[in-house]
Chain A
Amino acid sequence: MNSPLDILTLQPPEAAVRPALPFDVRRVRADFPILGQQVQGQPLVYLDNGATAQKPRAVIDALSHYYTDQNANVHRGVHHLSQIATDVYEAARRKVATFINAASDREIIFVRGTTEGINLIAQTFGREQIGEGDEIIITEMEHHSNIVPWWMLCREKGAKLRVIPMNDRGELCMDTYQTLFSQHTKLVSIVHISNVLGTVNPVEEIVQIAHAHGVPVHIDGAQAVPHQRVDVRALGCEFYTFSGHKMFAPTGIGVLYGCETYLDTMPPYQGGGSMIQSVDFDNITYGNTPNKFEAGTPNIAGSIGLGAAIDYLNSIDFDGAAKYETNLLEYAHDALRDVPDLKLIGTAERKVGVLSFTLSDIHPHDVGTILDQAGVAVRAGHHCAQPIMKHYDIPAATRASLAFYNTREDIDALVSGLHSVRKIFG
């Protein structure tokens, strides 16, 4: 029988301090139980990581451990379990802060995911700071989650969206970006890495230019955190959002990083328990950052899972994993270029392992269904980025998105599946 103290010390964070062995894809694959399964009688080839990544055993075990041994509500109650739950929840917040090099764990707000993080900024900072005639700069390559919250805010306030266009390779037109600023510009909100094109945007430069105009910047990092190390202080952005589930953590947990000076002056998001200091019917005072943005019982298990995912990434030589992925992307590019009638969408100079393409005039849904029969999981559709589809004048695209556990064999299976598609459609 464990004493409560043992339960605390049984936490996995020690993994973070263990020196990581050089990245080895075979060893890493063994950490992901789902990768061993068969689909349609074939070994699973999971190339839909842009939608959601698979979970390592360490994350699954952390969830199980929490619910088996530690479950209680946080920031309440004086009993043992409540204290443990609070400790592991706040420990996860510190892990996130370290992971993205935030100045303080007060700058880490747990949300449901990137979408909620962006909506939070729009509903708090946005509703207070953006008014009639003001302007928000976004890009042509945004996911709908970085368009719709701003569009809704603009409708409400009579503000306007200004859009940085991109070229046909899927790179932002930085010259145009410079010209979009005016005295009315209140925010720049841009995607770090495109979920369709894989483009790594020059966010450092984008932030510098915005700051030269005195404008704060939000970066949507949903597709960035699974592929490379992110340092919010080096980027210098005021806000950074990302989702846990795309970086090997559970769904339903995500992070809004906000620079403390901004968060402290922003109004709360939702009202409820946890976000207040005192309540009576005549007067309510709100709590401090980050609590004032976290009304209600949070996703405790999710945050612990996210902490476990961060420990896991630290334990596998994440930088080595990123290099491995870059090599795999080159291999995949070359392999796909050899498929007749295949056209890659997104050929930026700086990109990560996202391969969107069209194949002759065969609809991506048909491509996806046929690949699925070969055990190959890809995404087909508009990828919640209809403006990108419009740019290339296509209704939809097929997307294979990589993670560090993918292999050259996975790419070969994709290519062989694409040959089957061409055969069926003659």
Chain B
Amino acid sequence: MSDLRELYQQLILDHNKNPRNFRVLDPADRFAEGYNPLCGDKVEVYLQLQGNRIKDIGFQGSGCAISKASASLMTETIKGKTLGETETHFKDFQAMLTDPSSNLDLDQMGKLFVFAGVRDYPTRIKCATLSWHALRAAINNVQTPITTER
């Protein structure tokens, strides 16, 4: 069960139970939906921008503990960040989960490092990255819902 504790860390369980920024932003400058058709996980991401900066962010949706906690911690991480910084976070997060050789700056990852254990559960990686893909779609003003499958 030690492996499972690596996956379901207290921080993840906490954000699953009490997700932060779990709300609709109205009005929102940007909005996008993400969908995992294989499991039915759904996430909606709302953004308010101030110039190049994410002034506020909210999300809604339903999914497993990993996807919900990931969305919650994502909103905490990128609130107030510039779009450039957000893109760096996205890339680092994805590299942490999918590229074993990635040389990440752990301090830079901050709380997001709590998801490093997901790498050992290939079936769950898309749960963790769904909200990040939706965030990117919102930033890029993608109108149609994005999915984890091609």
Show the binding face of A for B, using Cβ within 8 Å. 362-366, 369-370, 373, 380-382, 386, 389, 395-396, 420, 424-426
Contacts and interface: CB of A to CB of B under 8 A. Distances in A.
Given A420-B1, A424-B8, A425-B13, A366 B40 contact: no
Contacts, number: 52
Contacts of A382: 39-40
Contacts of B42: 395
Contact of A365 (B1, B13, B39): B39
A395 B62 contact: yes
B62 A366 contact: no
Contact of B66 (A365, A395, A396): A365
Contact of A369 (B13, B38, B41, B121): B121
B4 A395 contact: no
A310 B63 CA distance: 41
Interface residues of B, number: 22
Contacts of B121: 369
Contacts of A420: 1, 4
Q: 4 tightest A-B contacts by CB?
A: A363-B64, A365-B64, A382-B40, A395-B62
Contacts of B13: 424-426
A369 B123 contact: yes
Contact of B38 (A364, A366, A381, A424): A381
A365 B127 contact: yes
Interface string B33-44: 000001111100
B64 A366 contact: yes
Given A365-B127, A366-B8, A366-B66, A396 B1 contact: no
Contacts of A364: 64
B64 A373 contact: no
A381 B39 contact: yes
A145 to B, nearest CB: 15
Interface of B: 1, 3-5, 7-8, 13, 38-42, 62-66, 68, 121, 123-124, 127
Nearest to A426: B13
A363 B63 contact: yes
Contacts of A380: 39
A395 B123 CA distance: 18
A169 B42 CA distance: 27
Contacts of B40: 381-382, 386, 389, 395-396
B64 to A, nearest CB: 4
A294 to B, nearest CB: 31
B4 A424 contact: yes
Contacts of B38: 381
A362 B13 CA distance: 11
A381 B42 CA distance: 13
Contacts of A366: 8, 64-66
